[in-house]
Amino acid sequence: MPHTPLSSEARIEKLSKIRDGSENYGEKDILWNYGQTASGSMELMPVFKIPLEYLVYNQRNGRILSRTLSHEANTSMIDAQSESGNKLIQKFLYESAESKNKKTEIDIRKYGQKEVGIVTLDGIVIDGNRRLMTLNNIVANPGDADVSNFNTFKAVILPATLQDATAEVKRLETIYQMGEDEKANYNPIEKYLQAKELFDLKWTEKDVASFMNIKKTDIQKYAQTMALMDEYLEAYGYDSQYTQLDKREDYFLSLNKWLQNFRGAQSARGHDGYTEMDVDLLQMVAFDYIRCFKALDGKDFRKIADGLQPSHIFGNKEIWHDFTEFHNNNIFPLRDQEPEINHEIEDMMNHLNDRDSKFYDASNKLLKDNFYESIQKLKYKKTHNQPSVQINTIETITDQINVKADTFKKPQTQRQLANVAKKIETMIVESGGSSGKLTHIKKISTKLSDLIGTLSDEDLKDGKFLDQMEILSNLVNDLKTEAGG
């Protein structure tokens, strides 16, 4: 079990004594700048062995920020100095990279702590939370290990408390945890939250890009995408429940790009005459697909509005209208029918995961069918000037129709089939001129002749066929008169 940390005052007293007079175990270069500006210089600081009970996990650690913020949004602030808070943060840390944590424990049990951590003067761990967690786990569950080899944490002690140098400490944490290439196994959403917290501490885009070792344009994209993520959570009543963003990063990046392309001035990538309302609807529809991200992989999702105009659904006005009308009639009502969120529940993440799962079950097939039908229409549009390709497609589809299926005999299916046949006949007549019309009349005559040969006495007894024959006779006489006969 995790220990209960000392009070802040007691920790400051203990760490000050260690820093001022204890034996050190080497030195480490720290990019420290207490003036809290973006620039900094390397400062060689001594490394100490600090008893575990003098240290506190950093609840704003970038590795678990989505977990701590989500928990605090639903309940109350985590008190890292309490036994329960200490235990909760340790749980979040362990679950953030479970397989890697197991390997780290094996390594530390065998070789001891190899990487030096960084802590504030009040004992808050800035770099090394996972190593501290591993040492605490070993002490609590030593097995055949000698606890005395694991009850201290090797770290540099910064000359300031977290409260006194919040912005500078956050900068330092970011550089050591997210700005180094070898750091891995972060939940992708954490980097957006880390950037958001840095902006809240008044660091500039240029500063944050430097801390995270990425381009300034990428940081701008982080800010836009984070704002979009917050809108997504708000749309479903999930405000600050950042765990609900897991595995959805690429989808948000795509949607953010679309919105940047289509908002404001008209883009040639969108369908002709689209409005801001269309863009708002694009966002709403995309949110449902993001929520049910398993319905479409990222490659298919991008076909909603990514690329040049002919390549996506939003690029064709007619297809876009049908696509959104179906969504409006079939998916939006499912959102209205969802039960209220239970804000009293303790395990909010599992509660919301279950809620999302039920929505997925109800909407998955509808979302897929609407998407793939729209993509099929898009393919047909692309072959508009290739009638032979389109006819081949029609022929292939016709060959696949199961005429023995019960649904084939339904009146609605028969009406649809008759409508298709009528459209095809109309196309043949209109495209063939006089010769086409003559050919069509010959086909009708042949069909009529074949049909007459199949009629039985039972078919003819009620007089309905006789009525139709009279209508046909009148039409033939009219045609003869028009033709000079």
Residue 362 scores a pLDDT above 90: yes
Q: What value, to the nearest 5°, has the Cα angle with vertex 276 and ends 273 and 278?
A: 70
The arrangement of strands across the sheet holding 41-51 comes to: 27-32, 41-51, 152-157, 117-119, 125-127
Residue 434's pLDDT is what? 62
Provide mean pLDDT across the span 86-102: 90
CA-nearest of 25, 20, 7 to 152 is 25
Higher pLDDT, 244 or 414: 244
Confidence of residue 181 (pLDDT cuts 50, 70, 90): very low
Alpha helices (runs of H) in 22-147, residue ranges in sequence order: 65-74, 83-96, 98-111, 129-140
**How crowded is residue 200: how many other Cβ atoms within 10 Å of its Cβ?**
10
What angle do the packed helices 249-262 and 276-291 form, to 10 degrees?
A: 180
Structure tokens at 8: 């802040």
Residue 60 CA to residue 110 CA, distance in Å, equals 30
Run of H or E residues at 118: strand 117-119
Span 420-449, pLDDT tens digits: 777 666 666 666 556 666 666 777 777 777
**How crowded is residue 477: how many other Cβ atoms within 10 Å of its Cβ?**
11
Q: What percent of the chain has pLDDT over 90?
A: 58
Residue 112 contacts residue 154 (beta carbons within 8 Å): no
CA-nearest of 80, 83, 58, 59 to 3 is 83
Higher pLDDT, 158 or 455: 158
Residue 472's pLDDT is what? 72
Tell me which of 46-50, 83-87, 394-398 is least confident.
Answer: 394-398
Residue 184 scores a pLDDT above 60: no
Looking up tokens 């979302």 gives: 367
Reported pTM: 0.76
Span 298-349, pLDDT tens digits: 999 999 999 999 999 999 999 999 999 999 999 999 999 999 999 888 889 9
Which stretches does DSSP call E strand in 136-199? 152-157
DSSP bridge pairs for 50: 153
Q: CB-based contacts of 116: which residues, under 8 Å, 6+ apart?
A: 26, 28, 47, 128, 154, 155, 156
Provide mean pLDDT across the span 29-37: 70
Fill in the amino acid letter for 325: E
Residue 115's pLDDT is what? 92
Write down the mean pLDDT value for the chain.
Answer: 87
CA-nearest of 118, 123, 220, 101 to 177 is 118
Residue 182's pLDDT is what? 45
Determine what percent of the chain falls in helix, strand and coil, rounding each to the nearest 5: 65, 5, 30
Residue 61's pLDDT is what? 86
Confidence of residue 229 (pLDDT cuts 50, 70, 90): very high
Confidence of residue 74 (pLDDT cuts 50, 70, 90): confident
Q: What percent of the chain has pLDDT over 70?
A: 86
